[in-house]
Structures are given as structure tokens and as C-alpha cells.
């Protein structure tokens, strides 16, 4: 009988006062998804490697070879950052004048926390691990203002039979003694071509930062260890 070994998985944890994972972000209205998007996670890894935004490796090396699962440890609170911006323009006579204020809304998740699990070719996962330990550029959670409050890399493991199994069993971590009781169940989303849910966060190989449809499934798991970790 041939014994099948467990896959190698890379575990990340995203914690920060603010996170923002845009799906339909435009100049005047910059939204956030309720959990990290695949394009956002790929962008974070690309920062660690030092890739430019239009580098084809974002798709050919990262997006196309990584499967991503997310577990929502704490949903956080959605908040809106309201801006009015005055724009300046230069007239033909060399005089600078100001236009009326432009109103923008930027949305964030306050005090949210996520576990992100990556599966893919083992050599690639080791590359990503090394890059996250020694990133070329500063890492942030969706936007540059969203600085993580703990190391993003949580570890590499072969303890779990699958990515879904890892989301069921990775410990839920209590941050401090003031932490409220954990929820009874944790929401998870995972890449799945046969999934019934979709969003536009698959990185495409174009210089225009366009995104294709990604299909995924959603499920809930009990809090591992009853939230006692």
C-alpha cells in the first residue's frame, strides 16, 4: 500500500488596527471585502519578493500556482474614512488655481484578524517563506497605511491532510486577557473551481491591473480547542 504524505502548507496571520482589501476600488469610492482577497494576498507576497505591479510573475508564478484559504478569526468593524480633497491645476498663464473639493470614501476593517493558508508547489512555498522573513519592500495589509502588528509569517507545516483540514485545526489564538469570548464558529473561504461564490480578484497578466473571476466556497468550523489557546 502506498502511503500518501500530507501537503506542505504555509500559514500566515493578518492582524492590524486597520486592514483594507479592495474589490471594486475606484478613485472616489474605495471599498473593502470582509476578508483578504486573493489579489491582495498575491500583492503582499509580491512586495516581499520586490516585484513591480506589472510584473508577469504575479500571475504566472504566484496567482496561477497558489491555492488560498482564509479563516476569519475576528470580523472586525467596518469603518469609513471620509475625505475632501482640493485639486490644483496650472493655467496657461502659469498661475496655479484650485478646483472645488473632491469627496472620497475609503473603507477599512478595524481590529480584524485572519488566518491565511497557502498551498502550492513546495519549492515555491519555501521561496515565499524566505521572502516573508526577509522582505524586499515593506509589507502591509491591503493598503500602505495598514501596517501589521505581528509577524505575518506564522509557519510552514505538513501536519494537516489538506488546506481545508488546516483551516479546521489551526489554533485560535487569544491576544490578551481582555479578549472577549471567541465566536462559536469561524467563517472560512477557500479557492474552489466548483464553488458557488465568486469575485473578481484573480490577478491577470496585463499591465493594467485587471482581475478575473475567482470561484470559491464558504463553510464554517468550530473554534479549535474551544478558543482556549
Q: pLDDT per residue over 101-121, tens digit each?
A: 677 788 899 999 999 999 999
The domain made up of 9-76+110-227 has a fold known as Alpha-Beta Plaits (3.30.70)
Which has more confidence, 105 or 132? 132
Q: Where are the domains positioned within the chain?
A: 9-76+110-227
- Model confidence band, residue 229 (pLDDT cutoffs 50, 70, 90): low
Q: What is the pTM of this model?
A: 0.87
Alpha carbons 185 and 153: distance in angstroms, whole number: 24
- The number of beta carbons lying within 10 Å of the beta carbon of residue 47 is 18
Cα distances (Å, whole numbers) of residue 103 to 28, 85, 129, 209, 218? 7, 6, 40, 24, 35
CA distance 172 to 115: 9
Q: What does DSSP assign to residue 205?
A: S
Under the banding of pLDDT at 50, 70 and 90, the label for residue 90 is low
479592495: which residue's cell?
22
Amino acid at each position: 500500500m502506498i502511503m500518501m504524505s500530507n501537503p506542505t502548507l504555509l500559514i500566515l496571520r493578518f492582524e492590524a488596527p486597520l486592514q483594507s482589501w479592495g474589490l471594486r476600488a475606484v478613485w472616489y469610492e474605495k471599498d473593502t471585502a470582509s476578508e483578504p482577497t486573493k489579489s491582495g494576498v498575491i500583492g503582499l507576497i509580491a512586495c516581499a519578493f520586490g516585484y513591480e505591479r506589472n510584473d508577469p510573475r504575479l500571475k504566472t508564478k504566484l496567482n496561477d500556482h497558489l491555492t488560498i484559504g482564509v479563516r476569519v478569526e475576528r470580523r472586525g468593524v467596518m469603518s469609513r474614512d471620509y475625505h475632501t480633497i482640493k485639486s490644483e491645476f496650472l493655467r496657461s498663464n502659469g498661475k496655479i488655481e484650485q478646483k472645488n473639493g473632491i469627496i472620497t470614501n475609503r473603507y477599512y476593517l478595524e481590529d480584524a484578524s485572519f488566518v491565511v493558508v497557502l498551498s502550492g508547489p513546495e519549492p515555491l512555498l519555501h521561496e515565499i517563506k524566505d521572502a516573508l522573513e526577509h522582505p524586499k519592500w515593506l509589507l502591509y495589509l491591503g493598503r500602505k497605511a495598514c501596517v501589521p502588528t505581528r509577524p505575518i509569517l506564522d509557519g510552514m507545516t505538513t501536519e494537516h491532510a489538506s488546506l481545508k483540514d488546516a483551516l479546521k485545526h489551526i489554533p485560535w489564538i487569544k491576544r490578551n486577557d481582555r479578549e472577549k469570548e471567541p465566536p462559536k464558529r469561524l467563517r472560512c473561504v477557500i479557492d474552489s473551481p466548483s464553488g458557488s461564490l465568486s469575485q473578481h480578484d484573480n490577478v491577470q497578466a496585463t499591465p493594467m491591473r485587471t482581475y478575473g473571476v475567482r470561484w470559491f466556497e464558504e463553510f464554517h468550523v468550530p473554534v479549535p480547542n474551544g478558543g482556549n489557546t
